[in-house]
A and B are shown apart, each in its own frame.
Chain A
Amino acid sequence: MKYLFYPGCSMHGSALEYQTSMLAVLEAMGAEIKELDDWTCCGASVASVMSDLLSLALPARNLALAEAADGGRPLLVGCSSCYTNLRRTALAAANPSTLARINQALEVENLTYHGAVQTRHLLDVLANDFRADAIRACVKRPLTGLKVAPYYGCQTVRPYSPFDDSQHPTSMVDILEALGATVYHYSHEATCCGTALLTTKPHVGFEIVGQILDSASAADCLAAVCPMCHLNLDSYQDHVSRALGKPIRIPVLFLPQLIGLAFGLPESDLLLKREVVPVDSVLAKLPAQ
């Protein structure tokens, strides 16, 4: 299977391990992936606050690049915010007058968007293109006995996501079970991570993250599929513990890091040492190699 890959800003920065492990895992399953040349920021949650047209033009710039590069290949995205912005733009561009206006803006970049390219989230690709069977076939070191709490967050499954239920998503269940892990279900699997509130209104953000981590705390680790979710859940656990009035310490891995562990991929592919909460307790649970 062939994909164009839009990394988005986080994967070239704080979430580099997400990109590295995602590419390693997909390539191990035979995917052919080409990074989109000259991509730029999708506008994150910021462009729509600056201007309506900017919030469409920034994602459309990347969609137009993808069409010019190879319109037939789906555009693979790992960040749920990028995913939302790219799909929102495609939906808006179904209206011919909106598409014309987007293209008026893109003229200065010498680009034209046609509304053709399909944007796919990594979780969708894993669950529906490869499926649990193909994943199971690559497992060399099952994660037997590991209790994993799947964390979907918000924009992975809503509102522009066609591949899972916006309220009770299940895409990670078959994947985690294919790895040999035990899925730990909890109340906050699709609750928002608080996004920018961790910076702008930290005390509100800590409470939101605290509720999520607290409800998942009986698991051995969380599995994340978005750089923002991962950053908020992994990095602030000291602050969150103080806000909750009790210690919380639970490793948060990206889903492809867990898949890569089960595939027996080396640390250079998984970059597990980058996580703020060390993942030693997860590794210690795994059966000896």
Chain B
Amino acid sequence: MSTPEVIDLTAIKRDPGFSDRLTPEHQLRRCIQCGTCTASCPAAEAMDITPRQMWRMVNLGLADQVLHSKTMWLCTICYQCSVRCPRGIPLTETIAKLKQLAIQARIQEWSESTKFYKSFSDVMRTYGRMREMEFMARYFLATNLFAAVPFTGMAMTMFARGKLKPELPKLSGVGRLDRLFNRVAELEGRK
């Protein structure tokens, strides 16, 4: 973990409304910096800023630093921080919100994660259900095909066990969930 020890708040652009846009009713403002979230997180050690630090930075309005950090992309959505938070803040749900904002801001770091979501969402929208092989193929094609190499042995075993089944991809036409996706986009004013 590498963390700046001192942040000069007078020299940094801040977004004072950041915290309150993430959760209704000023919920994040209740944070007392106890660190239970960090202590409970299975991936905290791999984060550039810990969950506790991140929530403090959110409350200080350090939107850029938070949105460019790796922390949210390491969240496994295990809800341990949320159920243990003594202030009852819905932290896991707020991480999803942070991810939405980072994607909307087209932040380029950690694109392996954003492309994971995009590949999954595209397959879901097209077929209505997940197709694991096509999802993985789309993901590694979109990110780094060589990153798939270490997994080929495992994939062959899964194939031999009948765990992966190849299906012909659908390359055009109307997706199974296009209507619902479009309707949601329309209702949210994204279309």
User: A residues near B, CB below 8 A?
Assistant: 9-10, 12-14, 16, 39-41, 43-55, 57-58, 61, 101, 104-109, 153-155, 158-159, 166-167, 191-197, 199-202, 204, 207-208, 235-236, 238-239, 273-276
Contact = CB atoms under 8 A, between A and B. Distances in A.
A107 B78 contact: no
Given A53-B187, A236-B154, 4 more contacts: A104-B187, A108-B179, A154-B80, A276-B158
List the 3 closest A-B pairs by CB distance, nearest first: A192-B78, A9-B130, A154-B78
Contact of A40 (B153, B154, B177): B177
A50 B117 contact: yes
Contact of B113 (A52, A200, A235, A239): A200
Contacts of B83: 158-159, 166-167
Interface string B170-188: 0000001101111111011
Interface stretch (B13-21, B27-35, B53-61, B69-77): B69-77
26 contacts: A9-B130, A13-B163, A41-B124, A41-B129, A44-B120, A46-B120, A46-B121, A47-B124, A50-B121, A51-B190, A52-B100, A54-B184, A154-B79, A155-B79, A158-B79, A159-B92, A193-B76, A194-B42, A199-B136, A200-B73, A204-B43, A208-B42, A235-B157, A238-B154, A273-B161, A276-B157
A9 B164 contact: no
Contact of A200 (B116, B124, B128, B161): B116
A54 B117 CA distance: 13
Interface secondary structure of B, over-half rule: helix
Interface of B: 42-43, 46, 73-74, 76-80, 82-83, 92-93, 96, 99-100, 103, 112-113, 116-117, 120-121, 124, 128-132, 136, 139, 150, 153-154, 157-158, 161-165, 176-177, 179-185, 187-188, 190
A239 B150 contact: yes
A250 to B, nearest CB: 16
B154 to A, nearest CB: 6
B174 to A, nearest CB: 13
Given A194-B42, A274-B162, A53 B100 contact: no
Given A46-B120, A235-B158, A273-B161, A13 B181 contact: no
B180 A49 contact: no
A104 to B, nearest CB: 6
B130 A274 contact: no
Contact of A9 (B46, B79, B129, B180): B129
A253 B77 CA distance: 23
B117 A49 contact: yes
Contacts of B139: 199
Contacts of A52: 100, 188
Contact of A155 (B78, B93, B128, B150): B78
Nearest to B176: A40
A43 B130 CA distance: 9
Given A13-B131, A197-B76, A51 B100 contact: yes
Contacts of B80: 154, 158, 192
Contacts of B185: 51
